[in-house]
A and B are shown apart, each in its own frame.
Chain A
Amino acid sequence: EDQVTQSPEALRLQEGESSSLNCSYTVSGLRGLFWYRQDPGKGPEFLFTLYSAGEEKEKERLKATLTKKESFLHITAPKPEDSATYLCAVHGSGNTGKLIFGQGTTLQVKP
């Protein structure tokens, strides 16, 4: 059974304090690992898709990396506007495009 576990559940950082969010996954035949950002009361906003171990993608202060068992979302010098819940999801080979989501990491960046 495909599973996604994110840690920590919540993370508080000071502005400028870099850190990483973890997403551990178990899936039969990974077809893609997705990172989304979700603000309260809104739908998820797409950030990255990673397809194979060793792949990395960057967008502004965010960098996503992927291994065969986990993915990291690195946040460099975060700003208060980076505060949100970050969701990780996997698309396995055994389904038709549906994503299995982790519980999310709620990030709060204080000025």
Chain B
Amino acid sequence: GAVVSQHPSRVICKSGTSVKIECRSLDFQATTMFWYRQFPKQSLMLMATSNEGSKATYEQGVEKDKFLINHASLTLSTLTVTSAHPEDSSFYICSARDDGGTGELFFGEGSRLTVL
């Protein structure tokens, strides 16, 4: 089946630094990818919709200057958490929609960010 790869799976950084998380669709093209964050024992909350070749669409309350999204190609989207703070610690999950086939959504394994 279709696979979405996220890297890194775990990252620990110091407060004030920036962290980049990659989301790759390995065997399909994805014009649209989605970034979610999930706090412990809570559900997934959509942060933004990433569109190849255009600006990302952010959900209400999500700071676009803090969470930079770049959809560089049809198989890669990146999320950069700038000037990270402890409250940004969370589980970040991406999903990619298969441009072909049924347009099914596939999720990455997630990236756990811990900001010290």
Given known A-B contacts A43-B93, A44-B93, A46-B104, A98 and B109 have beta carbons under 8 A apart: no
Partner of B104, one of A49, A96, A101: A49
Given known A-B contacts A96-B49, A98-B34, A46 and B105 have beta carbons under 8 A apart: yes
Asked whether any CB of chain B lies closer than 8 Å to the CB of A103, the reply is yes
Asked whether any CB of chain A lies closer than 8 Å to the CB of B19, the reply is no
- A42 to B6 CA separation, bound complex (whole angstroms): 11
Q: How many residues of A contact B (CB 8 A)?
A: 20
Q: Which residue of A lies closest to B44 (CB)?
A: A101
A105, chain B: closest CB distance, angstroms: 11
Asked whether any CB of chain A lies closer than 8 Å to the CB of B106, the reply is yes
Q: Which residue of A lies closest to B31 (CB)?
A: A97
- Which residues of chain B come closer than 8 Å to A87, judged between CB atoms? 43-44
Q: Count A-B contacts at CB 8 Å.
A: 51
- Which residues of chain A come closer than 8 Å to B105, judged between CB atoms? 34, 46, 97, 99
Whether the pair A103, B106 counts as a contact (CB closer than 8 A) is: no
- A34 to B4 CA separation, bound complex (whole angstroms): 18
Q: Which residue of A lies closest to B6 (CB)?
A: A43
A104, chain B: closest CB distance, angstroms: 5
B43, chain A: closest CB distance, angstroms: 4
Per-residue 0/1 for A97-111: is the Cβ within 8 Å of any B Cβ (1 yes, 0 no)?
111111110000000
